[in-house]
Amino acid sequence: MGNATSICSDKTGTLTTSKMTVSEAYFCNTLFTKELLSDENTNQRKKSQDPDLIQFEDSNDNNITTNTNNSSMVSTKSLKEIKDNVPHNVWNGFIMNAIENTTVFIREEDKKKTTELGPKAYEGSPTEVALVQFAISFDESMINKIGGGEDIIKRWPFSSKVKRMMTLIRISTSNSYKSDMDVSGESLTLNQQESSHSRSDTNTTVVNDYHPLQGKSVALLVKGAPEKVLNLCYTIYTGENSDSNQITDITDTIRHEIKSISNDMASRGHRVLGLAIRYGDDEQELIDTNEESTCTFIGLIAIEDPVREGVRKSIDTCRRAGVIVRMVTGDGEATARNIATKCGVLGLGGIVMEGPEFQKRNDDELLSILPKLQVLARSSPDDKKRLVGLLKQMGEVVAVTGDGTNDAPALKLADIGFSMGSGTNVAKKSSSIVLLHDDFPSIVTAMAWGRAVNDSVRRFLQFQLTVNVTAVIVAFVSALIGEGSVLTAVQLLWVKMFFFFFFFKFFSLRSNFSIINISII
């Protein structure tokens, strides 16, 4: 570890606290935020370089509007008012995605202590825990339905390749969601003849046949990266005129607006999730067509994960010590760029690249880019492994952090593998060091001690060569050219004792050391 010249660090839990909370949501053309934007924080908000991204305008009203290039208006309201300001079907779609389309669970003994225990009561990924906590904050009775239970028909778990997860659930007559749905369908018009691949750029309201009309008994829930979820959708809930059943085709204009809002959320350092749903009455049909664009888009959820205290100082320390820190994350470019800037990973002239672009380039191209590459976003475990291999090919001594089973190949390939104490057993077995505290300063501490050991060994060898070898040579040479050694055995012993007692500690050990002024051997 003392020889490390490059660190490839995860974002979540290492550079950030992993204490995630829902900070923003976008449903039915309304942006819900923790705090309403004021004139002061609107002016301080960093403008994106992309002119198509949402830019917040000044307003003294509670409902603040957001202008985009397509001239649509997005109202802004408090996150606390979300349940009262979205249609029932939209809210139910969100609740089902949060509560049933998840791998989070709560132990029976902790179900009555969720308020007291907070996030510790939940078992699962921090992202999903934040979503579940947010949903339960509006209705604690949903605790018993976390994970879906008997309602689950089939689940497609989250994968780093597809960047989404799906769950097919059964909507029974006793299901609490069913009672809240508008299933009359009398005033709705069905247009089943239009192809989902040939939608015109109009605002004509069209209700698809997967909407919860009478007789629909199953629902396909989709959650994941906004662009991946959006690719599976051809309609979207609008909620216009307070009509909970009103949906419209996703036109190019609407698709662009959703992507702009998603990018704007991500540019503030949030992890953004897209949510979608599809209703039906044939389980096998939904299973066979789950990859087709037949879903209805519900909205976006932005999750905040604060940067750890002391991370920026630690990264500055590494930079001054000649160690390059790179952030490798599965989050999108905008989110990764924001967090990397806050942490100090991304500096002037640094390059941010996404996994798909990284995969397209050959090794020769990447080798020319790597010296300036500081952030790898939307990356897969294979991208991480390839990055480590290329850095080693450049002669770097690489340290890698990881906590998941998929990180095992990169952890094994790296010169030093750091696994998190909260990580999987596979990751721990593939790593060199297990961090009990899942934070970046611990890595810097390990590096400092590694350098201290190397430095102490070097100083000790210098001491031995200076004192012992010199004394032996003097005694040996004098014995060859004269009648005997100029130094007797007792004198050699006194010389050795003198140097050991008065100079050994000074030359070979340090009580106070800094990674900055300890050089690499």
Q: Concatenated DSSP letters for 335-358?
A: HHHHHHHHHT-S-TT-EEEEHHHH
pLDDT per position as a tens digit, 1-26: 888 899 998 888 888 888 889 999 99
Q: Residue 201: what pLDDT?
A: 40
Tell me which of 204-218, 243-257, 340-354, 488-502 is least confident: 204-218
pTM of the model: 0.74
pLDDT band at 422 (very low <50, low <70, confident <90, very high): confident
SS3 401: strand
* pLDDT score of 86 more than 60: yes
CATH match of 21-304 with 3.20.20.140: no
Active site residues: 10
pLDDT at residue number 446: 84
Overall average pLDDT of the 497-519 stretch? 61
Spatial separation of the C-alpha atoms in residues 246 and 296, rounded to whole Å: 11
Q: Which amino acid is at 132?
A: V
pLDDT in tens, 325-381: 999 998 889 999 999 999 999 988 899 999 999 999 999 999 999 999 999 998 888
pLDDT at 452: 80
Q: Is the pLDDT of residue 309 over 90?
A: no
| Whole-number average pLDDT of the chain | 77
Query: Predicted confidence band at 507 (pLDDT cuts at 50, 70, 90)?
Result: low
Distance CA 167, CA 156 (A): 6
Superfamily of domain 6-12+308-444: HAD superfamily/HAD-like (3.40.50.1000)
Poorest-pLDDT segment among 175-189, 234-248, 367-381, 418-432: 175-189
Strand partners, 419: 402, 434
Under the banding of pLDDT at 50, 70 and 90, the label for residue 119 is: low
Tokens of 329: 């994350």
DSSP 198: S
Sign for the pseudo-dihedral over CA of 186, 191, 196, 198: negative
Assess whether pLDDT exceeds 70 at residue 200: no
Sorted by where each begins, the domain ranges of the chain are: 6-12+308-444, 21-304
Q: Indicate the DSSP class of residue 517.
A: T
**Residue 66 reports pLDDT greater than 60:** no
- For residue 445, what pLDDT is reported? 84
